[in-house]
A = this chain, B = another copy of it.
Amino acid sequence: MNIILLNKNDFIDSDRVRIKGSRKNHIIDVLKTVKGDSLCCGLINGNMGKGIVEQIDPYSIQLKVNLITPPPAALPLTLILALPRPKMLKRILEAVTTLGVKKIYLINSWRVEKSFWQSPVLNDENLNQVLIKGLEQAKDTILPQIFFKKLFTPFVKQELKTISENSVCITAHPKASVLCPKEINQKTTLVVGPEGGFIDLEIKTLEEQSFKTVNIGDRILRTETAVPVIIARLFA
């Protein structure tokens, strides 16, 4: 936890918060904070800054906060990801949140196991926890938005054009013959397939929407490794 994330309910005054529960425990037990210490704080979807510890009791901590710094810049990337298995999904979402991705579409694909869509990881509350962990790690405040698209073809044929407007459009695919571009540092829409990859028809459907199919070398990476590697390559 590199930043204490606050929500509006924590405020007891315009510049004063009282926090309880797991954040309070972390501040006391892990950070070993005492009265007078200064902590990095941020309002979810708002500014960041400092919080001075004014009071500590066993049930709560009171901070005087001064939140005037905007959060770090977001990546100009929309990530479109074939739904991975639940455990991997959690890790990928946390990782891309730390990397500054703010728009994530989780889509179906031929090789996505149907059961993945039933996972409790996809509940709003559980997803929110994962994203918050990513923000707390990265020192960021802006929650990514996540969209679910359970039908591949209608999504790609009818929605993707608008979503990817004015962006570089690429699909990462191990079998591609062209190498992924690097350091493009501009608005990008990146599609990443499931374990085992997209089937040929899906790649064709994406190519019809002007998505260029690219690889990242001979080595076949797991999605959870490939996504950070591609992001680091695109936005170096």
Contact = CB atoms under 8 A, between A and B. Distances in A.
Given A228-B228, A228-B229, A233-B236, A219 B140 contact: yes
Contacts of A130: none
A235 to B, nearest CB: 9
Contacts of A231: 229
A72 B139 CA distance: 38
Given A225-B98, A229-B231, A231-B229, A139 B236 contact: no
A139 B217 CA distance: 11
Nearest to A219: B138
Contacts of A2: 220
Contact of A220 (B138, B182, B218, B236): B138
Contacts of A218: 72, 139
Contact of A95 (B100, B140, B225): B225
A99 B219 contact: yes
Interface in A122-175: 137-140
A182 B233 CA distance: 10
Interface string A64-104: 00000000100000000000000000010011001110000
A45 to B, nearest CB: 17
10 contacts: A2-B220, A91-B224, A94-B222, A95-B222, A99-B219, A99-B221, A138-B221, A139-B220, A228-B232, A232-B233
